[in-house]
Amino acid sequence: MKFQALLVYLLLGVGAAVAQADDRPNIVVLYTDDHGYADLGCQGVLDDVKTPHVDALARSGVLARNGYSTAPQCVPSRAGLLIGKFQSRFGVEANGQSLDGFNRETTIAQRLQDAGYVTAQFGKWHLGPGPRIIEHGFTHAFNQNSQRPFSSNITLEGKDRQMSQFPPKLYHVDACSKAASSLIERYKDEAFFLYVAYRAPHVPLDAPQKYLDRFPGDMPERRRQALAMLSAVDDGVGLITETLAKHNLTEKTLVFYIGDNGAPLKIHKLDAPGGGPGWDGSLNDPLNGEKGMLAEGGMHVPFVVSWPGTIPAGNVYDHPVSALDVAATAVSVAGLKANPGDLDGVDLVPYLSGKLSGAPHEFLAWRWIAQSAIREGDWKLLRGGDREYLYHLGRDIEEKNNVLTQNPEVADRLRKKLTQWASELSPPGLAIGPMSNAATGYFDFYLDGKDPGTAATPRTDRAGPAQETRGTAKKRRAAKRRESAQ
């Protein structure tokens, strides 16, 4: 009898533990790459884009009209998202900088893994070697972002394998979606965190014909490619959400869909042949500017949040929110604690659910090499080198009318706040280097209205804080080739 009583006690204890684990929400972050603000159907900007599954995700939750990335470039924006702290606090301000600071920080995945979550990364990493992804709190990694061998410790079916190079079996976008769906099947009874970072519509443009066929008619071929790649992403969102629904996990899962930065237009939007560098075919309309700028087109991105049953469906949220809020929200909903200074974001759930009114942030601020900016309500102060602009985004989301001279007191207030915020970065200051030729050309054209003429198209994919030597450029190109092979 004593043995039976002990067995019942142990079973009840295990059952209670499982029930407690089951109460914790799953968290899924869907992250796109060089995805312009215009290119979601739910944005209501353009009618050539087809994203029915993301549109349905927005209808099931909130479309954040003023969602922001932390940088106008891939590496720093990903570092900020995953750490939940503005990346210039730990030395990852731009592509090409050391990742030592990132490696010392604690990712969302690590926090959740330490709390018992199953964690997994899919797609583009861009924060170090693929095999080392699992050193940052990810139980599983499926690092496919091209049609070349990549680092993975799971199969497409979600089965374990030793971390090593894995040959591509599907188009990289489809493969990430399939692997993510397989892990949901595998861990449907456990709490999980999935970070699905699609390398789309980032160049090289490589959509399979079945997706290109969805967009017939006369249009730039690069536009067709971007729409096709985003259609592949949308199919993946559909597969993931359908898998959640299949196992009654929809109301147990918080889903974010966010772009890492704006689309690179290269000013001219040249429909160059091939799928390599240049315009990626995506569009930032009606925003001004592009990737490589702290103008709205560079870091005002698609941003959707869904958690049916907790966040009311069908809302449009107008207060500014940030990708930094993902980590703070994840920590909060998982019932975890963070030390003061660990996170720069805000738990968005009380705001998106209507429990709290008002803006989540007093202001949002950015620094990227020679540029810095601050948004407080509808006011935005933007600096680039020795240039300064003030916009009222409520009346001028296109940033066409610089009202700096008409509102000196507003500019002074914002400048003081921005300067104070920037003094806390590493290194401190409103800039860490001079304006590059690319940034100068962008500011000339987008903000100062100068005719770009037939000048060479600026490149920002590889822009760093300092001018490269020939030897440095050679090393950088070699590193880029190694990264593409992952």
DSSP per-residue codes, 258-324: EESS----TTT----SSSSSS--S---TTS---TT-SSHHHHB--EEEE-TTTSPTTEEE-S-EETT
Q: Can you tell me the mean pLDDT for 164-179?
A: 98
Please indicate, yes or no, whether residues 34 and 106 belong to a single structural domain of this protein: yes
Pairing of strands 253-259, 26-33: parallel
User: pLDDT by residue (tens digit) across 288-341?
Assistant: 999 999 999 999 999 999 999 999 999 999 999 999 999 999 999 999 999 999
Q: Where residue 146 sits, what CATH number does that domain have?
A: 3.40.720.10
The verdict on residue 20 lying in a domain is no
Per-residue burial over 42-77, b if 16 or more Cβ lie within 10 Å, else e, is bbebeeebbbebbbbbbebbbbbbbbbbbbbbbbbb
Tell me, yes or no, whether 381 and 341 share the same domain.
no
Sign, CA torsion 144/149/153/158: positive
Q: How many C-beta atoms surround the C-beta of residue 199 within 10 A?
A: 26
With a pLDDT cut of 70, the percent of the chain lying above it is 88
Q: Is the pLDDT of residue 399 over 60?
A: yes
User: Residue 54: CB partners within 8 Å, gap ≥ 6?
Assistant: 40, 41, 42, 233, 234, 237, 257, 302, 304
Residue type, 341: G
Contacts of 27 (CB under 8 A, 6+ apart): 112, 117, 192, 193, 194, 253, 254, 256, 330, 333, 334
Q: How confident is the model at residue 22 (pLDDT cuts 50, 70, 90)?
A: low
Structure tokens at 99: 């990742």
Burial class (CB in 10 A: 0-12, 13-18, 19+), 216: exposed
In a domain, 339, yes or no: yes
**How many domains is the chain built from?**
2
Same domain for 332 and 382: no
Same domain, 373 and 417: yes
Q: In this structure, are residues 94 and 73 in contact, taking their beta carbons and an 8 Å threshold?
A: yes
| Average pLDDT over every residue of 144-160 | 98
Same domain, 411 and 293: no
CATH of residue 410's domain is 3.30.1120.10
Domain that holds residue 67: 25-352
Distance between CA atoms of 266 and 280, rounded to whole angstroms? 9
Which amino acid type is present at position 120?
A
In a domain, residue 473? The reply is no
Per-residue model confidence (pLDDT) at position 138: 98
- pLDDT value at residue 452: 80
106 shares a domain with 57: yes
Query: Could you tell me where the beta strands, DSSP code E, fall in 82-171?
Result: 118-123, 140-142, 150-154, 160-166
| Average pLDDT estimate for 182-207 | 98
Which of 318, 352, 386 marks a domain boundary?
A: 352
Rounded Cα distance between 213 and 64, Å, is: 31
Verify that 338 and 370 share a domain, yes or no: no
Higher pLDDT, 245 or 16: 245
Q: Give, in degrees to the nearest 5, the angle at Cα 302 between 272 and 377.
A: 125
Q: Is residue 436 part of a domain?
A: yes
Please report where in the chains the tokens 């004593």 appear, as a residue: 2
Give yes or no for residue 85 having a pLDDT over 60: yes
Residue 17 lies in a domain: no
Q: In the chain, what are the helix, strand and coil shares in percent, each to the nearest 5?
A: 35, 15, 50
Phi, psi of 29 (to 5 degrees): -115, 115
Section 374-391 average pLDDT? 98
Omega before 72 within 30 of 0, i.e. cis: no
Token couple for 86 = 């503005």
Beta-carbon contacts of 29 under 8 Å, excluding residues fewer than 6 positions away, are: 81, 193, 194, 195, 196, 255, 256, 258, 326
Q: Is residue 91 part of a domain?
A: yes
Specify whether 157 is located in the same domain as 246.
yes
Last residue of a domain, one of 352, 382, 407: 352
Per the domain annotation, does 16 fall within a domain? Answer: no
What average pLDDT does the segment 377-384 reach? 98
Query: Do 409 and 321 sit in the same domain of this protein?
Result: no
pLDDT for 481:
44
Provide the residue count of the chain: 486
Average pLDDT over all residues of the chain: 91
Task: Dump the DSSP string for 334-399.
Answer: TT----TTS------HHHHTTSS-S-S-S-EEEEETTEEEEEETTEEEEEETTEEEEEETTT-TT-
b vs e for 406-421, b when ≥16 Cβ sit within 10 Å of the residue's Cβ?
eeeebbeebbebbeeb
Task: Render pLDDT for 446-484 as a digit per residue (tens, 0 to 9).
Answer: 999 998 864 444 554 443 333 333 333 444 444 444 434
Gap between the Cα atoms of 486 and 480, Å rounded: 10
Confidence of residue 243 (pLDDT cuts 50, 70, 90): very high
Q: How far apart are CA 174 and CA 236, in angstroms?
A: 6
Give domain status of residue 461, yes or no. Answer: no
List the structure tokens of 192. 């999980």
Residue 362, amino acid: E
State yes or no: pLDDT of 241 exceeds 90.
yes
Whether pLDDT at 23 is above 50? yes
For residue 451, what pLDDT is reported? 87
Could you tell me if 328 and 413 lie in one domain?
no
144 shares a domain with 185: yes
Supply the DSSP string of 212-264, one letter for each residue. Answer: HTTS-SSS-HHHHHHHHHHHHHHHHHHHHHHHHHHTT-GGGEEEEEEESS---
pLDDT of res. 1: 43
Q: What pLDDT is attached to residue 486?
A: 37
C-alpha to C-alpha distance for 427 and 89, rounded to whole angstroms: 8
Both 341 and 411 in a single domain?
no
